[in-house]
Amino acid sequence: MARVGGGRLAGMVTAVAKKTEKPLVRLRTRGAGEALLLSEVLAFRRRLMQWYEEHARVLPWRGVSDPYRTWVSEIMLQQTRVAAVIEHYHAFLAKFPTLVSLSLAPEASVLAAWSGLGYYRRARMLHKAAQFIVRELGGVLPGNSIDLKTLPGIGEYTGAAIASISFGESIAVVDGNVERVLLRVTGRPYVSTAAGKKFVHEQAQALVPKKKLSVGVNAAGDHNQAMMELGATVCLPKGPLCGACPVYGLCETKGEHGSAPRTMQRSLPASYLLSLRKRGTVTEVLLSRRSAEVSLMAGMLELPPLPETVVAGREPLLRLRHAITNTNYYVQVFAARGLKDKKMLQAVLAEPEQLEWVRTSRLASHPLTGLARKSLQRLDVMEVRKVRMEGIERALAVEVSPAAFEDGLELDDY
């Protein structure tokens, strides 16, 4: 048997070792709660983007080149489930395809197109901002986060999202999903203090690539979308999918951690009247317009509200649960027992000037509250709009878990 020289043998052993050894995840020189090291920042970016390129959901507002469309999607996504936004995004843009068309539309038309998304102040601010841009800025959306934040309805988060996704600005986007990822990776508990928020923002900013926008490349925008995607689909508030996490090796927590206390939900009853009438071949439904002075859904149309005392002992046409902010409403919809049922008709909690008859065939063009829209559709008074588009199955598949809704719960169309 031929003898192998010592130097040659050592080289062979080294080569075998290189093929079989497992790569080091990271050197554990960072203590829990401390910021990521530079080497970890670079590794985090690389692993995150490799994962995002393979696993990102197909969503209609991704990959668009029109900043107006990005702006609309970001406003819609505030505190609203992705699935609900998918349903409304294309319809809204079909009605208002450009910033100018939105600015010229009546507010009622904008609210009608927004109906079902909830938080209607967003639609009003979007409309006001479009009018301001056309009137004062020549119809061009500002191209940086500082100027974007001067517009109605655009704050830190939305300004950063639009600036990075549409214009490649190297600025971090921090929402509840991103905050949760960073707290778990660094091993810090949730602390609602200025110092805690400052740490999260500084860590988020350190991770954003500094590369400028170029042809086919938007490092900052893609990174921010990847961070939000990771929190929304993998690093879930409860039951995080650590086995699928691309930055698991860098994570101090490796699982759930202490999170912000959730606001307790109240439960209240609510009753409404369904009153229909025929005028020839036309069917009309009685609706009540909310006061322009109320804080929620001002000027929107709803079914006429009824006092609980008048519906006692009556059987409702419909029962459902509806959530608005921190209140669960257990809703019942009643029908009058003919025109002679004056007790119910006279008990409506609305002034006569607030009541109006609306053709059922035109309900979709009116600014209905989310509850009115849901009730009328379930009672077959209003047609249900069907939406089919590529990618919706994948988006919905991720979001069926209640845990996925923790930081993006739609509260006005539940």
Please indicate whether residue 410 is annotated as part of the active site: no
Alpha carbons 165 and 152: distance in angstroms, whole number: 19
Query: Of the residues 34, 54, 74, 202, which is catalytic?
Result: 74
Side chain identity at residue 244, one-letter code? A
The C-alpha angle 292, 295, 298, rounded to 5 degrees, equals: 35
Q: Is the dihedral of CA 180, 264, 294, 363 positive or negative?
A: positive
State how far the Cα of 93 lies from the Cα of 72, in Å rounded to an integer: 8
Distance, in Å, from the CA atom of 255 to the CA atom of 245, rounded to the nearest integer, reads 11
The whole-angstrom separation of Cα 223 and Cα 228 is 9
Query: 343: which 2 tokens?
Result: 């007790």
Cα–Cα distance between 132 and 153 in angstroms, integer?
12
- Distance of alpha carbon 88 from alpha carbon 183, whole angstroms: 33
- Rounded Cα distance, 98 and 68, in Å: 7
Is the backbone of residue 239 left (phi > 0), alpha (psi -120 to 50) or beta? left
Residues noted as catalytic: 74
